[in-house]
Amino acid sequence: MPATAAILIGMLRRIPKFFLLLLMTLCAGAASSSRALAPNVTLTPAIVESGSPELIRLHTPDTIVRVEGEWLGRKLEFFPNRDHSAWFALAGVDVEAPAGSSELKITEFTGTGRDALSHDFSTTVPIHPAHYRTSSITVEPKFVEPGPEERKEIEADSKAKQAAFATTADKPLWSGSFLAPVKAQPTDSFGTRRTFNGKLASIHKGTDFRAASGTPVHAGNSGTVILAQHLYFEGNCVMIDHGLGLISISMHLSRIDVKPGQHVSRGQQVGLSGATGRVTGPHLHWAIRWQGAMLDPAKLLRLNLSQVR
């Protein structure tokens, strides 16, 4: 009996450890299931560089009703594709963003009202440096050292641009892949570090197209015109809001054919190319802006968005 009692006492002492091990096993299994159910995130282009537009795709179950996110200090607005088999966000990395690791945060929502549940997860996205050229350009002195009247005009332009950037549609207005705004050869000018008259250094935040004066300029995709006027540096300028903070900007036009508030369709003519503003000759400067980040238009044109919406 004493031996039997000792065995029973030993078993009783081991029971708490057994339950502890069982609890740890169950928790490990639950964590594993949670990881398996987390959406698969895909970024296109796969190599993320400074200045790169990015199409973020989440492969999610059809129980998801809403997806939100944050990346590089900017809010991500996701939308479902046609058959709700995936959620997308069209975002990007500013041309001046430093290289290094970044954190992409995503929240999924299931159900509505009291039945609503959320699931948070994050993933690390490395940002690689993009290598841009340097160049030197000569322009009229007034565009390097503006006088008092010119500075007043520049200040008024700044307010007009900020007002245009302040609002954006709460859904994507674009459909399908973006089109080049002109039938002309683009240059590799995006991101070029420029010196004007040997004094003023800046970064070229758009793509230049070798378009002769009077070349028809088209909307790269559907959207709403948020600015259509002459600006000091940009010349005759047209800005189109494509929704969720994505804006395309056409500069140096010789003629503007649209008005603020007007809806334009993909490929619709918005004006004619020219040589207004700070230029060295006729061409079209086309820029892409997402929530204040300036993105490479040439890379946006290479994105296949035909199956997105």
Q: Can you spell out the DSSP letters for 91-143?
A: EE--TTPPSEEEEEEEEEEESSGGG-EEEEEEEEEEEBPP---EEEE---GGG
Question: Which domain CATH number covers 232?
Answer: 2.70.70.10
Question: Which domain CATH number covers 79?
Answer: 2.60.40.1930
Kindly tell me if the per-residue pLDDT of 194 is higher than 60: no
What is the pLDDT confidence band of residue 64, given thresholds at 50, 70 and 90?
confident
Q: Tell me the per-residue pLDDT of 223-282, one tens digit each, with 9 for 90 and over.
A: 999 999 999 999 999 999 999 999 999 999 999 999 999 999 999 999 999 999 988 899
Report how many domains make up the chain: 3
Within-domain flag for 94: yes
Within-domain flag for 19: yes
200 and 271 together in one domain: yes
Can you give the residue range of the structural domain that contains 223? 134-302
Within-domain flag for 308: no
Within-domain flag for 309: no
Q: Tell me the per-residue pLDDT of 135-152, one tens digit each, with 9 for 90 and over.
A: 666 667 776 678 888 889
Q: Tell me the per-residue pLDDT of 157-175, one tens digit each, with 9 for 90 and over.
A: 999 999 999 999 999 999 9
Kindly tell me if the per-residue pLDDT of 128 is higher than 90: yes
Q: Name the strands in the sheet holding 53-59, side by side, starting at the edge strand that comes first in the sequence.
A: 40-44, 53-59, 86-92, 79-80
274 and 167 together in one domain: yes
pLDDT score of 15: 44
3 and 46 together in one domain: no
The strand pair at 53-59 and 86-92 is best described as: antiparallel
Amino acid (one-letter) located at 264: V
Within-domain flag for 217: yes
19 and 145 together in one domain: no
- Answer yes or no: are the C-beta atoms of 217 and 276 closer than 8 Å: no
Structure tokens, 154: 């520049």
pLDDT score of 159: 96
How far apart CA 78 and CA 64 sit, in angstroms, is 12
Within-domain flag for 92: yes
Q: What is the pTM of this model?
A: 0.81
Within-domain flag for 221: yes
99 and 11 together in one domain: no
pLDDT score of 18: 37
User: Which DSSP category does 170 fall into?
Assistant: S
Cβ atoms < 10 Å from Cβ of 190: 26
**With the C-alpha atoms ordered 35, 40, 46, 51, is the resulting torsion angle positive or negative?**
negative
- Answer yes or no: are the C-beta atoms of 181 and 210 closer than 8 Å: no
- Among 74, 105, 127, give the residue marking a domain's end: 127
Residues sharing a CB contact under 8 Å with residue 86, sequence separation 6 or more, in sequence order: 57, 58, 59, 60, 80
Element counts in the chain: helices (H) and strands (E): 3, 20
